[in-house]
Chain A
């Protein structure tokens, strides 16, 4: 009898919770196929993973109830125009409450206009270009640090090396993100003793760097900084080897932190510098995943590949919404938008808070590939490990 009553009570409670639970809808259009799918998948998978973890922990507290998160992901096939249309669909037809962003500044630039147009907050972790945040839009937030600051910590590190590099070659692809990086780097480098002797913009679709490399070699440049995409950086390193170009140091905005990039290059990846706004360290504590290291392990087990800062930043996006909704105690877009602007919490990605333009500010940790492993070298608190500098010549490795 008691058991039956208990069972009834449980059923009623269950029914009651089901009846009152209206899941909070999140929508995103991500590059799951197409030429950016290589990085786009980090976002799709990470959004999924975060939503699952948050739901398993009970969901989001709004008013007196806990609501689950519902995620709808569309594949934009790496086509900007399609992603714009999909965001409109998500807002107007699927009636999602909030938007998560795609990868790549070009996409974010176009898609954020939809968020602004329909007054639906979008948090994205895929676009860092300054242009995104200089339009005065109120409904777009970003968890990637400003593009123009990407090489700052690298430049700092270079000032501390012995003997410090004197000449610099700055190469950048001609897309929104990399142009922003180059503009910022040029400005910051002018404050140091470095002399920029090669300053070349190259086409995003380029695969042949022989001419640039030959120029760099003829000028005997000490340090090379490259702002580009993974495929370009890969080509660059391989061609630097075949043309026997031996700078003292080279650093890249992308590629180095990704495991499959290092695997593709094998031994040739050694000595390359890169940066990451995130390292999977146990020191980064998280409410849902424990800490960043645990997250990385679970992610790898779940999806079969290691996460990098793209994935971590995507998780931060979802968590930021949760925190904002709970803080606003509502799912009204205007209230949540204001709450997002004020969030400040620690997560596996680091400290999440947005400046007045809507962008996060996280320092970049300089990393280097040493003997096949990714080693954090220089962080906001100074040297973490000794860098291997200068880079030995190709023939001597």
Chain B
């Protein structure tokens, strides 16, 4: 469908979503906040993973730093929430630039492993820092009323998606895509690959950090395990991949769909929820590795053979 139609639909969707806290049940609002935050994370990963082609397994570090920025600012220094967010963003961007420089020189799976290693290192370092409450974590002040968090998360997702939209139409974005397709050729053509990669990394760190800050304040509790959760990394990647990496709405769609299914399972048949996640990943990678968006597009042409073709393309 035309882009302007998609945009109009999105606008209506956002307006609708914004009203949810007033008519939805508390559980729906809860689910909504979680889904919005996950969608933001998936979308922020999209910038470095989907557009630039650098599959980062370390976005949870930015998320965690955002959370800790807020927690430390509010608990240890009594500063207000927005200041905490700013600190969290500062930490995340600083980390992205400082560690991005050496790590973004690595290719493909080495980059993935390095970011995975970084996530583990940060978990271990923070669990030793007294100011962060070591492994016990920090308890944030309690705020009654989820409306605030819902609207904040929604605004965050909208801003992140707008950023991705801007990227997809800008020279910066074309540069990123060029890096993804063939980095050496891109460099030869004059793209400053190092600068672009660092900028992409820093940009996604901002959104992930804010998401982490909001989540920490909402849950009122933060510890290294949940802040830098490795499984969270994989969740956001799966949602982005499932929805369609390198597209504007793909990650959002993937996040909402997967969250919804997971939440329904968790409420009804709690034990199945975790294994569901694993099976979805396996099935999705085998049958639709290019994501939901691609599935929708190509299904019209090939029908059920779409799945077969995917397998044939990638198997031995």
Residues of chain A touching chain B, judged by Cβ–Cβ distance below 8 Å, are: 32-33, 74-75, 77, 80-82, 84-85, 88-89, 91-93, 106, 109-110, 113, 116-117, 131, 135, 174-176, 179, 201, 203-204
Contacts and interface: CB of A to CB of B under 8 A. Distances in A.
A109 B221 contact: yes
B265 to A, nearest CB: 11
A88 B26 CA distance: 8
Contacts of A110: 219-221
A116 B27 contact: no
Contact of B139 (A91, A135, A203): A135
A179 B134 CA distance: 10
Contacts of A113: 139, 142, 220-221
A81 B226 contact: yes
Contacts of A32: 270
A107 B144 CA distance: 20
Interface in B219-254: 219-221, 223, 226
B189 interface: no
30 contacts: A32-B270, A74-B270, A77-B270, A77-B273, A80-B221, A81-B219, A85-B30, A88-B30, A89-B27, A89-B30, A89-B267, A91-B26, A92-B25, A92-B26, A92-B27, A93-B26, A93-B27, A106-B137, A106-B223, A109-B139, A110-B220, A116-B142, A117-B144, A174-B127, A175-B135, A175-B136, A176-B136, A179-B134, A179-B136, A203-B135
- Tell me whether chain A's interface is mostly helix, strand or loop, or mixed: helix
A174 B134 contact: yes
Given A84-B219, A85-B34, A92-B27, 15 more contacts: A74-B270, A75-B271, A77-B274, A80-B223, A81-B226, A89-B27, A89-B30, A93-B25, A106-B137, A109-B221, A113-B139, A113-B220, A174-B134, A174-B135, A175-B136
Contacts of A81: 219, 226
A333 to B, nearest CB: 15
Interface of B: 25-27, 30, 34, 127, 134-137, 139, 142, 144, 219-221, 223, 226, 266-267, 270-271, 273-274
Q: Which one of B136, B221, B267, B271 has the greatest number of beta carbons of chain A within 10 Å?
A: B136
Contacts of B219: 81, 84, 110
Q: Enumerate the 8 nearest inter-chain pairs by beta-carbon distance, A residue then B residue, closest first.
A: A92-B26, A174-B135, A110-B221, A75-B270, A93-B27, A176-B136, A113-B220, A89-B27
A52 B274 CA distance: 30
A92 B267 CA distance: 13
Nearest to A107: B221
Contacts of B267: 89
B218 to A, nearest CB: 10
A5 B252 CA distance: 68
A128 to B, nearest CB: 13
A85 B32 CA distance: 12
B226 A174 contact: no
Nearest to B273: A77
A85 B144 CA distance: 15
A179 B219 CA distance: 22
B27 A88 contact: yes
Contacts of A33: 271
A205 B30 CA distance: 31
B101 to A, nearest CB: 30
Contact of B226 (A80, A116, A175): A80
Contacts of B30: 85, 88-89
A28 to B, nearest CB: 13
Contacts of B27: 88-89, 92-93
B221 A82 contact: no
A215 B270 CA distance: 45
Contacts of B266: 82
Contacts of A203: 127, 135
A80 B27 CA distance: 17
Contact of A131 (B135, B136, B144): B136
A201 B130 CA distance: 13
Given A77-B270, A92-B26, A174 B221 contact: no
Nearest to A33: B271
A384 to B, nearest CB: 35
A113 B266 CA distance: 21
A92 B30 CA distance: 10
Nearest to B145: A117
